[in-house]
């Protein structure tokens, strides 16, 4: 285990600093901005929203100001939050205090879609998304430092891709290139509204 003064030699370093990359993103070519997100857990009125009876959800409807999502009551309340939207901030000045202005629209959306789910607030927390302009991740070799691999800018949906991201990082660290098509994730890729992830082949 490394301590504050220990060091270990390495031919390759992988940087996975999440939203803390925002102050260094200019070195890459793909900007990263920090978006403040509020998550709230509610005590529902009934057991209709228990995990045994209610699925996870993501709702994208014109009637709501943003796309919102959540999870059933797993013992700590029904979780709800907006996936889109949120104030642009930075990691050194993000507001960690949840206000009534944060709670009201989330509760309204939840009660509209699932009446009774947002009866009382259990707890709340502020997190953050590290957003890229095209919402594709940043995974690849640093354009100025060939021994540094960067994995960041996961734009609020990176967790589910962690096995593939891990495979790409290992390929880059060991072989210098990935077996997967990663051009659309390159740190120095050209941004454009038509940029798309490659289509999956096969059935």
- Note the pLDDT tens digit of each residue in 1-56: 556 777 777 789 999 988 998 777 778 888 899 999 999 999 999 999 999 999 99
Q: Taking residues 152-171, what's their average pLDDT?
A: 91
Q: What is the pLDDT of residue 1?
A: 55
Q: Taking residues 137-154, what's their average pLDDT?
A: 92
pLDDT tens by residue, 75-104: 999 999 999 999 999 999 999 999 999 999
Does pLDDT of 133 surpass 50? yes
Residues sharing a CB contact under 8 Å with residue 21, sequence separation 6 or more, in sequence order: 15, 32, 130, 138, 150, 152, 153
pLDDT-derived band at 196, boundaries 50, 70, 90: very low
The whole-angstrom separation of Cα 70 and Cα 73 is: 10
Looking at 3.40.50.300, 3.50.50.60, 3.20.20.70, 3.30.390.10, the CATH number of the domain 13-32+134-185 comes to: 3.50.50.60
Q: Taking residues 168-188, what's their average pLDDT?
A: 92
Q: What is the pLDDT of residue 2?
A: 59
Residues present in the chain in total: 203
3-class secondary structure, 104: helix
Q: Where in the chain are the domains?
A: 13-32+134-185, 37-128
Residue with the bigger pLDDT between 144 and 98: it is: 98
The mean pLDDT of the chain is: 88
Q: With a threshold of 0.85, does the pTM exceed it?
A: no
The whole-angstrom separation of Cα 175 and Cα 183 is: 16
Does pLDDT of 192 surpass 80? no
Looking at 3.40.50.720, 3.40.50.880, 3.50.50.60, 3.30.9.10, the CATH number of the domain 37-128 comes to: 3.30.9.10
Does pLDDT of 199 surpass 60? no
Does pLDDT of 203 surpass 90? no
Q: What is the pLDDT of residue 71?
A: 97
């Amino acid at each position: 285990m490394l301590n504050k003064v220990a060091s270990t030699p390495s031919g390759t370093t992988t940087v996975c600093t999440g939203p803390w990359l925002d102050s260094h993103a200019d070195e890459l070519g793909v900007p990263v901005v920090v978006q403040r997100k509020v998550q709230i857990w509610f005590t529902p009125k009934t057991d209709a929203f228990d995990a045994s009876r209610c699925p996870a959800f993501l709702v994208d409807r014109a009637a709501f100001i943003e796309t919102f999502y959540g999870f059933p009551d797993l013992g700590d309340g029904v979780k709800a939050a907006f996936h889109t939207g949120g104030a642009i901030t930075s990691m050194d000045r993000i507001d960690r205090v949840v206000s009534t202005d944060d709670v009201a629209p989330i509760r309204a959306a939840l009660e509209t879609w699932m009446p009774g789910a947002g009866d009382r607030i259990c707890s709340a927390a502020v997190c953050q998304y590290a957003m890229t302009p095209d919402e594709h991740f940043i995974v690849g070799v640093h354009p100025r430092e060939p021994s540094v691999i960067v994995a960041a800018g996961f734009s609020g949906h990176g967790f589910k891709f962690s096995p593939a991201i891990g495979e790409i990082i290992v390929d880059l660290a060991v072989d210098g290139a990935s077996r997967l098509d990663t051009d659309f994730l390159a740190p120095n890729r050209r941004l454009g509204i038509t940029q798309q992830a490659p289509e999956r082949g096969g059935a």
